Amino acid sequence: MTGMRLAAVGFAALGLAGADRVVVVTAGGADYVLAAGGTLAEMAGRGAEIHVLRLTNDEKDSWRLTPEETAARARREAEAAGALLGVKSVTSLGYRAWELGAVSFTELRDRIMLFIRHHKPRTLFIPNPHTHYDRVLDRYYAGRAAEDAWRSAGVEGVQPVQAEAGLQPHITHDVYYYAPPVDPERRTPEASATFVPQPKVVEIGAGLAKKIAVAQVYVTANESLARRLEERLRTSGRRLPVLDEITPAAIRRLVEENVRGLAKLAAAGTGYAAAEEFHYAGIEFRIPASYR
């Protein structure tokens, strides 16, 4: 990769104080856990108060369950996963999964903005709407709305009725954009550090075991993944020995391999053993170094 410049930053540089608040916006499923679970586990361990806003109901990702049953299980699993991760609250908005494209952008933005104004986070984690080749477009719609919610939450004139409910404008200092690592250009630095988030890699060695355990809580979607993978391999004359018998233990093993694989990909070129990668908008994003 030509011109690659990684900002490999450990937790010493995160500047987290014990009482910091964090808001995570997720389209659904285990998205935020797979992309940022290690970082969030570390933050929770340091005393951060983390609130997750889950936009959709995950009703479609299961194996031979109705949408209603899938949604009910997915919600229970999302809440259990959050609790294990050390998250203080998981709030579900209940939009139908994989149909966010039909939801008004402004409606979605304003609901995320309300959440931000209510919790007043120092740090936001949002899906990266600028990533390429992520085939789940709910993440794009969620990220686009969340990005504007971050901006608009600090603007008094946007949804002034929220002030009537006691919500004041709020500016979030740090934003971590997360995405599955499917974009080959994801580590190419953007044009300028000012007003454009930059690639950032966070070491997660200490949080990797917790991240694996949390990802394994999403039993319904994980079984769907395992069975679809086994079906694809079987119908094309192949097999993955660990899935010869699809047991809960085999599925957990698959999830562990997935999380370890993601951590290895993110750590590539950094010297870390396990990491997560983001686009990060911190102080450089707002104030050029020459003015500080």
Cβ–Cβ < 8 Å for 231, 183 = no
- The reply on whether position 242 binds other proteins by CB under 8 A is yes
**Among residues 10, 47, 94, 133, the one that binds other proteins under rule CB under 8 A:** 133
Residues 80/150/143/280 CA torsion (nearest 10 deg): -90
Q: Which of 114, 242 has the CB closer to other proteins? A: 242
- Report how far residue 37's alpha carbon sits from residue 21's, in angstroms, rounded to the nearest whole number: 16
Q: Which of 13, 265 has the CB closer to other proteins? A: 265
Cβ–Cβ < 8 Å for 54, 146 = no
Q: List the x/- string, 260-279, binding to other proteins by CB under 8 A.
A: xxx-xx--------------
**Among residues 10, 13, 17, 234, the one that binds other proteins under rule CB under 8 A:** 234
Question: What is the closest distance, in whole angstroms, from the C-beta atom of residue 101 to other proteins in the complex?
Answer: 5
**Among residues 88, 98, 170, 227, the one that binds other proteins under rule CB under 8 A:** 98
Non-local (6+) Cβ contacts of 113 within 8 A are 149, 152, 153, 158, 159, 162
- The reply on whether position 182 binds other proteins by CB under 8 A is yes
First to last CA, the chain: 32
Q: List the x/- string, 29-58, binding to other proteins by CB under 8 A.
A: -----x------------------------
- The reply on whether position 181 binds other proteins by CB under 8 A is yes
* Number of residues near other proteins (by CB under 8 A): 46
Non-local (6+) Cβ contacts of 19 within 8 A are 47, 49
Q: What is the DSSP letter of 96?
A: P
* Tokens found for residue 39: 């970082």
Query: How many CB atoms neighbour CB 118 within 10 A?
Result: 17
- Report how far residue 132's alpha carbon sits from residue 60's, in angstroms, rounded to the nearest whole number: 23
Q: Which of 238, 292 has the CB closer to other proteins? A: 238
Positions touching other proteins (CB under 8 A) are 34, 59-62, 64-67, 70, 98-99, 101-102, 132-133, 135-137, 180-182, 184-185, 225, 228-229, 232-234, 236-242, 254, 257-262, 264-265
